[in-house]
Chain A
Amino acid sequence: MVVETIDWTDLSFQEARQTLKKWRDDHARRSEEIVEIWEHVLSRYTSSLHDELWAVLEQVTIAAIDSARHDVALQCLQKLMTQFPSSSRVAKLQAMRLEALKNYDDAEALYNKLIKADETNPGFRKRKVAILIAKGEKLEAIRELNEYLEIFINDTEAWIELSELYLKEADYARAAFAFEDVLLSTPHSSLNLRRIAEIRYAQGGQDNLELAKAYYDKAIQLNPDDTRSLFGVVLVCNQLANKASPAKKKELIQTGTRALDKLASIYKKAGDNPKQDIHQRTVNALRTQLSQS
Chain B
Amino acid sequence: MAEISAVAYSKIVLHAVKYPHSAVRGFLLGKRHGQEPPIIVDVIPALHGSLLSAPLEALLITLDTYVSDHKLQIVGIYFANESNDDKSFDESFAKVAEKLHTIYPQPVALQVDASKLSLNSNSQCLKAFSYENKAWKSISSFLTNEDVGLAAVSAAIESKLYRELTDFEGHLDDPNADVFNTDLTTKIRQLIE
Listed in ascending order, the chain A residues whose CB lies under 8 Å from chain B are 1-3, 5, 29, 66-67, 134, 136, 164, 167-168, 170, 197-199, 201-202, 227-228, 231-232, 235-236, 266-267, 269-275, 278-279, 281-282, 285-286
Contacts and interface: CB of A to CB of B under 8 A. Distances in A.
B184 to A, nearest CB: 8
Going nearest first, the 5 A-B pairs with the smallest beta carbon separation are A228-B172, A231-B58, A270-B175, A272-B176, A167-B50
Interface of B: 20-21, 50-55, 57-58, 61-62, 64-66, 69, 82-83, 85-86, 92, 160, 163-164, 166, 169, 172-173, 175-180, 182-183
A235 B58 contact: yes
Contact of A285 (B52, B65, B85): B65
Given A199-B52, A274-B182, 20 more contacts: A2-B177, A2-B178, A3-B163, A5-B163, A5-B164, A66-B21, A136-B86, A167-B51, A168-B82, A198-B55, A201-B52, A202-B52, A228-B172, A231-B172, A235-B58, A271-B176, A273-B176, A275-B66, A275-B182, A282-B62
B129 to A, nearest CB: 19
A71 to B, nearest CB: 17
Contact of B61 (A201, A272, A282): A282
Given A3-B163, A5-B164, A278 B55 contact: no
13 contacts: A2-B176, A2-B177, A5-B160, A167-B51, A167-B52, A198-B53, A231-B58, A232-B55, A235-B54, A274-B178, A274-B183, A275-B179, A282-B65
Contacts of B86: 136
B86 to A, nearest CB: 6
A136 B83 CA distance: 8
Nearest to B169: A228
A134 B84 CA distance: 10
B62 A202 contact: no
Nearest to A239: B57
Given A136-B86, A273-B175, A282-B61, A231 B55 contact: yes
B182 A286 contact: no
A270 B64 CA distance: 20
Given A228-B172, A231-B58, A285-B61, A168 B163 contact: no
Contacts of A270: 175-176
Listed residue (A168, A199, A278) with the most chain B CB atoms within 10 angstroms of its CB: A278
Contacts of A285: 61, 64-65
Contact of B65 (A201, A269, A273, A281): A281
Nearest to B66: A278
A268 B129 CA distance: 40
Contacts of A201: 52-54
Contacts of A2: 176-178, 183
Contacts of A275: 66, 178-180, 182
